[in-house]
Chain A
């Protein structure tokens, strides 16, 4: 009966080790917690990078001039108030997914998320 065994004990140990190692690596690379953050650009320059995991509300100034108030809550970010005339940035509401963006052309502010869950598209065509 012994002779009919296909694998030696060392084979089984080897297979087990490789399997455990592989599944660990797969789990790690697919479910690695990504840091969920928002990048704020003002006048084309990096203004601030903020974590979306901590709730907060802050103001954005450029060269001492108040531009807008931004709020972070439960992993999402929005513009609460802005000095621009159209308030498109305020009406955009909350964004939380990677690739989503809030743009304020008059104040030259761009807010986009990074490291979050992806949107379902790469780009958006609009007027």
Chain B
């Protein structure tokens, strides 16, 4: 009798434990998302921010981030009359005191230009305008004549940017266009805001496809990020990576481009030729800083397959490139991010 009693108690206990375990599992796995999410259009692109903090001020912090993006646009948009960069581009070679953030990014871009032997060049403003890619209106995008391109190239060259303390001067009529790195810089600024508010906060910022991770999803899971198929639609991913931290950015030939006589020309120019390169459809980069991820992709689109691997080793970035035949190439660092 006693034995049967013990078996009964055992079975009932196991049953009770199982019920409790199932209930706990279901409650945890269906935990509602605790993220404050805001979408909007800022910095000339589609922005999405998800933020969770124990301080209960997520909404205020995210709103401050959107305000900051508007401020950054008033500094870095070279074609917006009145912006800090617009003023610099129209300063006729005179010394000008600039906003410290513009100074930082300018210095970074010149150093990056030197490190890539000028394949990356922030002084292509006049070439961008010549092709019409400074506007959002595709009817204004056009293939200039070789003569016009040669002419515009005379006013290009990162060595024409000079610094003196917090003053900058542009020589030889060059126009600065920081389109290759401004979004990445903005990612870094927003990540710093999130962390300054709460070191252990989590979430992400996504500025038109330039993404920075504030912290892992729910504190311990990776964010799964799709790499856009360069020949597909907006929601069509060709590959995935899993990020707990860091930044990821993509440069590509599929949004601002024209096709003339079967040849594709896009908005990233080789400063030596004034034309876009035709090595890659897109380059996606993962690194610690948004500005590096952004700049690396831009430079790699120009530098091509012979330089991308070498640069990736030098800068310590992970990359995935898709060439004009659609062939995917990844470095070994990239492969670490392919598993959750």
Interface residues of A (CB under 8 A from B): 3-7, 11, 15, 18, 22, 25-26, 29, 41, 43-44, 85-86, 88, 91-93, 95, 97, 100-103, 105-106, 108, 110, 112, 119-127
Contacts and interface: CB of A to CB of B under 8 A. Distances in A.
A4 B226 contact: no
Given A6-B8, A120-B226, A88 B40 contact: no
B19 interface: yes
Contacts of A11: 8, 12
B332 interface: no
Interface residues of B, number: 52
Nearest to B229: A126
A32 to B, nearest CB: 10
Interface stretch (B79-87, B154-162, B244-252): B244-252
Contacts of A41: 39-40
Interface in B184-203: none
Contact of B237 (A3, A5, A91, A121): A121
A122 B41 CA distance: 19
B209 A127 contact: yes
A125 B4 contact: no
B11 interface: yes
Nearest to A108: B41
Interface of B: 1, 4, 7-8, 11-12, 15, 19, 22-23, 26, 30, 39-41, 44-46, 48, 136-139, 204, 206, 208-211, 217, 223-228, 230, 233-235, 237, 240, 248-255, 282, 284
A123 B250 contact: no
Contacts of A18: 15, 19
Contacts of A127: 209, 228, 230, 250-255, 282
Contact of B40 (A26, A92, A110, A123): A110
Given A6-B4, A112-B39, A105 B237 contact: no
Contacts of A110: 39-41, 46
Given A29-B30, A123-B48, 11 more contacts: A11-B8, A93-B233, A101-B235, A103-B234, A105-B136, A119-B235, A125-B225, A126-B208, A126-B250, A126-B255, A127-B250
Nearest to B236: A124
Contact of A103 (B11, B23, B46, B237): B46
B209 A29 contact: no
Contact of B7 (A6, A22, A106, A123): A6
A125 B48 CA distance: 12
A54 B79 CA distance: 44
A123 B204 contact: yes
A85 B140 CA distance: 10
15 contacts: A3-B4, A11-B8, A15-B15, A22-B19, A25-B26, A43-B41, A44-B40, A91-B233, A123-B223, A123-B225, A125-B211, A126-B208, A126-B228, A126-B250, A127-B252
A92 B233 contact: yes
Contacts of B40: 41, 44, 110
Contacts of B237: 120-121, 124
A46 B154 CA distance: 48
A125 B249 contact: yes
Contacts of B211: 123, 125
A5 B138 CA distance: 83
**Most chain-B Cβ atoms within 10 A of its Cβ — which of A15, A25, A86, A122?**
A122
